[in-house]
Amino acid sequence: MSFRVKLALVFTLTIVVAVALVAWGVSTYTQREFERIDQRHTKALTEQFTQEYAQRGEEVVRRVTGIKESQATTSMAIDLTGPRADASRYVFEADGLAKSNQLDFLDFAGDDGSVISSKEWQAHFGYKTDWVTAGGHDWNQQGAFLNRTELPDGVALSLTAVRVVSVNEKNLYIVGGVQLDKEFLKTLVLPEGMRALLYKNLQPGFDPAMLTDVNGSVAQADRIAPLVERVQKQGAGAELTVQWNNDPASAENFHAIPLLGRGNQLLAVLLVGSSRAELVTLVSFIRQLGVIVGGAGILLGVFMSVWFSARITRPLAKLARGAREVAAGDWAVRVDARSRDEVGQLARDFNEMTRQLAEQRDRLVQAERVAAWREIARRLAHELKNPLFPLQLTLENLQRARQQTPALFDEIFKESTWTLRAELDNLKMIVTKFSDFSKMPAPQLQHTNLNDAVRNAVRVYDAQFNVIGRPPVTPELYLDENMPMIQADPDLLHRALSNLVLNSLDAMPSGGVLTVRTGRGDGIVGVEISDTGAGLTPEECERLFTPYYTTKRMGTGLGLAIVQSVVSDHFGKISVESAPGHGATFRIELPVRPPGASNNFDAGRTAGTDTIPRDEAELVKEKRRTESVGTKSTLGLGE
């Protein structure tokens, strides 16, 4: 993955995370704010209910007190204390008084608590309401309270007040109240999205029929059961969220407020419901907006990331490209260094570095060239000095023989002429070798069988393996018969292999074994030539392929240099592995299909005439590289 892509991804990821964090933050803040508003509404509603409850209680007290102080009640109280009191006359009294005073419930009870008249249950006359007479209440001083009021068909909740009229130490109790039901709930002013439910806790457990809202019964009332049961168990307020159907917008928060009666008995639970539809809609809107804005932001971010990363990495890419060109040998490359930031400084440093490297290379080349000329001069002097000295001696010997022994002059002349001719031939050979080395031809690639090349090279020296007077050398060939055809110049290959075989023969003056192996790898073939000679020191191994370097008394130092040149021209590698006393092994690796070889290799193989253009071979020749590690020296192309 490129640096630009990584940078773009980092930028994009950063933007995505930032957008997600903002969306989450907004959503969380909104939800928290909604909860806060919801709690504020609930609190306001609770306060409103409490206030309404208190006001309603005061109103009930006022109405019941009004009945107490009415002429009709006073007359009734007086009449009932008489000796012929007839309570039955007043059995329907409560109905009219309750209606005129807007009370849902009204009971008149005698001194013993017996019901004289009941608005809500007229048939209940004569039955006692013990709670009114029990406990020594000063009812005239007490306010309204939540009460269970028995009805013919059940029990109702009421906000009740009790007042007493006393005549001749006999009490007439007036018990009046208003029903706590859906009509009461209707009087509560609720914010939009909120509603109030009333659960009448008139029996243990949860009874759905006891739950009512402003419209009467509540659908799916069972869903409220856990909340009511919690209040029943704990006697304190509680909360519950109910989702009425699969739609999250149907969810509703319920806050339960216990309503206690006399003796702190839990008689009812007020449930304040607050719809979460608004919140869900808002969160949904925020999410949609977040997705749209986030998507647009991400797209913009991706675009900006690509643009920024491209802008940031462009100098770096140029640097990388420049570095690659330098690595490829183009040391003259320069990158744009106009910016003043760190990347610009890096570019300037790179340019300076390449400039200095180029200068050092030029100096090195110059130094190597001087050293090479010196070595050539030394070699030429050495090579030429050897035959020149016998020539000088032979000429001086001829001069002395003519002066001192003219009789033997002819014989000496004949011998000296032979010597002179031999040394001149020697000089000629030296010149020829140098000439040949300077004239190394570009390889003409064609389909070549490496095994055949090996066999031909060894066959050249068959006669020398068993020369009389010299210990024999035994050739051993281990050739891979499945070797592929390679693209090579067979003449140059033969020349290189012959040099190596000859080199091995020279290394084994006392005889030995010459082992030649061929093998193949992934796209390459190899040949290994080993001898059992005296071996080489590490220093010798390092300099072995240097031109004109030789360890032989009569060598020119050009044989292995030629081998190395041939191998390099075929884009191959050559190495040597040796240790003193353990012989030496030369390994050559050649590509089956060298770079620049003709694409119609198969056609060429059948035709046997495929060649690499000379210009191309000349180009790749420039890319050779020398490598030497320990006692193992390797020569070949860099790429």
- Tell me which residues touch another protein (CB under 8 A): 87-89, 91-92, 121-127, 152-153
Please identify, using beta-carbon distances, which residue of 126 and 608 lies nearer to another protein. 126
Smallest separation, CB 151 to another protein (Å): 10
Smallest separation, CB 234 to another protein (Å): 34
How many whole angstroms separate alpha carbon 561 and alpha carbon 489? 17
Smallest separation, CB 109 to another protein (Å): 15
How many whole angstroms separate alpha carbon 509 and alpha carbon 511? 5
Smallest separation, CB 88 to another protein (Å): 4
Please identify, using beta-carbon distances, which residue of 123 and 579 lies nearer to another protein. 123
Please identify, using beta-carbon distances, which residue of 125 and 571 lies nearer to another protein. 125
Please identify, using beta-carbon distances, which residue of 72 and 603 lies nearer to another protein. 72
Strands (E), 123-229: 145-151, 154-167, 170-179, 194-200, 211-213, 216-217
Strands (E), 181-333: 194-200, 211-213, 216-217, 238-243, 251-260, 266-275
8-state DSSP, 114: B
Smallest separation, CB 116 to another protein (Å): 9
Q: Report the Cα 412 to chain-centroid distance in Å.
A: 94
Using alpha carbons, select from 566, 565, 560 the residue that is nearest to residue 578. 560
Using alpha carbons, select from 294, 284, 295 the residue that is nearest to residue 27. 284
Smallest separation, CB 119 to another protein (Å): 12
What is the pairing mode between strands 473-478 and 512-520? parallel
Please identify, using beta-carbon distances, which residue of 156 and 592 lies nearer to another protein. 156
Smallest separation, CB 86 to another protein (Å): 8
Report how far apart, in Å, the C-alpha atoms of 515 and of each of 358, 463, 492, 532 are: 45, 17, 21, 9
**φ and ψ at residue 521, rounded to 5 degrees:** -135, -155
Smallest separation, CB 104 to another protein (Å): 17
Smallest separation, CB 213 to another protein (Å): 26
Please identify, using beta-carbon distances, which residue of 65 and 122 lies nearer to another protein. 122
Smallest separation, CB 93 to another protein (Å): 9
Q: Where are the alpha helices (DSSP H) in 187-276?
A: 225-234
Using alpha carbons, select from 148, 167, 145 the residue that is nearest to residue 157. 148
Please identify, using beta-carbon distances, which residue of 89 and 334 lies nearer to another protein. 89
Please identify, using beta-carbon distances, which residue of 130 and 330 lies nearer to another protein. 130
Count of Cβ atoms closer than 10 Å to residue 367 Cβ: 10
How many whole angstroms separate alpha carbon 380 and alpha carbon 377? 5
Smallest separation, CB 91 to another protein (Å): 5
How many whole angstroms separate alpha carbon 304 and alpha carbon 10? 12
Please identify, using beta-carbon distances, which residue of 135 and 152 lies nearer to another protein. 152
Please identify, using beta-carbon distances, which residue of 114 and 626 lies nearer to another protein. 114
Smallest separation, CB 101 to another protein (Å): 18
Please identify, using beta-carbon distances, which residue of 98 and 558 lies nearer to another protein. 98
How many whole angstroms separate alpha carbon 531 and alpha carbon 513? 6
- Token pair 């000329």 in the structure block, residue: 373
Contact 516, 454 (CB under 8 A): yes
Residues 6+ apart with CB under 8 A from 165: 68, 73, 74, 77, 171, 172, 174
Using alpha carbons, select from 108, 604, 1, 23 the residue that is nearest to residue 288. 23
DSSP characters over 412-445: HHHHHHHHHHHHHHHHHHHHHHHHHHHTPPPP--
Amino acid code (one letter) for 194 = M
Which residues does residue 178 pair with via DSSP β-bridges, in sequence order? 159
Please identify, using beta-carbon distances, which residue of 48 and 122 lies nearer to another protein. 122
Please identify, using beta-carbon distances, which residue of 125 and 549 lies nearer to another protein. 125
Please identify, using beta-carbon distances, which residue of 118 and 503 lies nearer to another protein. 118
Smallest separation, CB 123 to another protein (Å): 4
Smallest separation, CB 105 to another protein (Å): 16
Count of Cβ atoms closer than 10 Å to residue 368 Cβ: 11
Q: Report the Cα 434 to chain-centroid distance in Å.
A: 63
Structure tokens at 564: 């190395």
